Amino acid sequence: MKTMEELSRSGRWLRQNPDYNKIWREANPGYIKNYNKIRYAANPDYYRRQYIEHREEYRKMHKKWYAENKEHSNQVSRNWARTHPEEIRAYYRNGRLAVLDHYSNGTTACAICGEDNVGFLTMDHIEGGGKKHLREIGRPLAFWLLHQYRKTGVWPKGFQVLCANDNSIKRFEENGYKLAPNGMTKLRSKIRSLLGDCCAICGLDDHRALHIEHLGNDGSEERKRFVGNIYAYYKHILEKAKEEISLFGYCKSYQLLCANHNLEKQMKVQIKEQTKKNKS
Ligand SMILES: [Zn+2]
Ligand SMILES: [Zn+2]
């Protein structure tokens, strides 16, 4: 054991050579990590207890560290995500499954029709008001719920699992008629009958669940051009569809999909874009 004098001497020496620890760590990469790992593996219960006992202090410490090293920390996370796309996808998949499982009482199925294809399932605000809430939280509802649960240990109440079709029908019954400006309902039904009046994949013909889908990759571009003027947007779709049908005998740019198949397609596109982003 070192005497007090030696300790204070080494303390003084360290103060005079403040970069020593950093240089040593760089010269021995992984040493401390490995050392901590071995210590932890030898007595995991002790460290777990230690953490629970001093949770608040650890949190404060980490918060302070994060505030001082925000850029660096985010860069490390981004790099990790880029090199571990499979883990990231599994994390989101498992998180979403946990949420769906909890809010469907373990059935992982739609509360109305019993649809159990997880690709079709969505989270629903039982009492409505979802649009406003989603704007407030600014991220997918399922991940917000998961985050709340991890933070507080309690699942927020007032949510259920619905398939995208039943969610769409419910939303339409709640405010579909109210939201549609004058003439919109007619315009939409004209477009639907041009496009075959049913889902191009499964043939569902309930208009409350049908969505117009862009076959090209110009959907968001086109929507941007008509932002704030939804009537002109649908008018444009109608004219374009008419023109294409008279030219080619079918519509090249749009098709009708039920909400379920629309959701499935959107998710595929998202995964594709994410993969592309990770590669670049
Ligand atoms: Zn359903
Ligand atoms: Zn369908």
pLDDT at 176: 63
Residue 177 has pLDDT above 90, yes or no: no
Confidence of residue 12 (pLDDT cuts 50, 70, 90): confident
pLDDT at 178: 62
CA of 189 to the centre of ligand 2 (A): 18
CA of 95 to the centre of ligand 2 (A): 26
CA of 161 to the centre of ligand 1 (A): 9
Per-domain residue ranges of the chain: 4-83, 86-169, 180-279
Ligand with minimal distance to 204 CA: 2
Q: What is the average per-residue pLDDT within 49-68?
A: 92
CA of 204 to the centre of ligand 1 (A): 13
Residue 271 has pLDDT above 80, yes or no: no
Q: Return the higher-pLDDT residue of 4 and 95.
A: 95
C-alpha span between 134 and 124 (Å, rounded): 11
Highest mean pLDDT among 2-6, 55-59, 126-130: 55-59
Q: What is the average per-residue pLDDT within 66-86?
A: 92
CA of 76 to the centre of ligand 2 (A): 41
C-alpha span between 249 and 245 (Å, rounded): 4
C-alpha span between 96 and 89 (Å, rounded): 11
pLDDT at 217: 67
How far is the first Cα of the chain from the last one, in angstroms, to the nearest whole number?
A: 54
CA of 213 to the centre of ligand 2 (A): 12
CA of 93 to the centre of ligand 1 (A): 20
Q: pLDDT over 70 for what percent of the chain?
A: 93
Question: Where is average pLDDT lowest: 19-28, 93-102, 221-230?
Answer: 221-230
Q: What is the reported pTM?
A: 0.70
Residue 15 has pLDDT above 70, yes or no: yes
> Tell me: the pLDDT tens digits for 98-146?
999 999 999 999 999 999 999 999 999 999 888 889 999 888 899 999 9
pLDDT at 182: 67
CA of 251 to the centre of ligand 1 (A): 29
Q: What is the average per-residue pLDDT within 160-187?
A: 82
* Tokens found for residue 266: 């959107």
CA of 248 to the centre of ligand 2 (A): 24
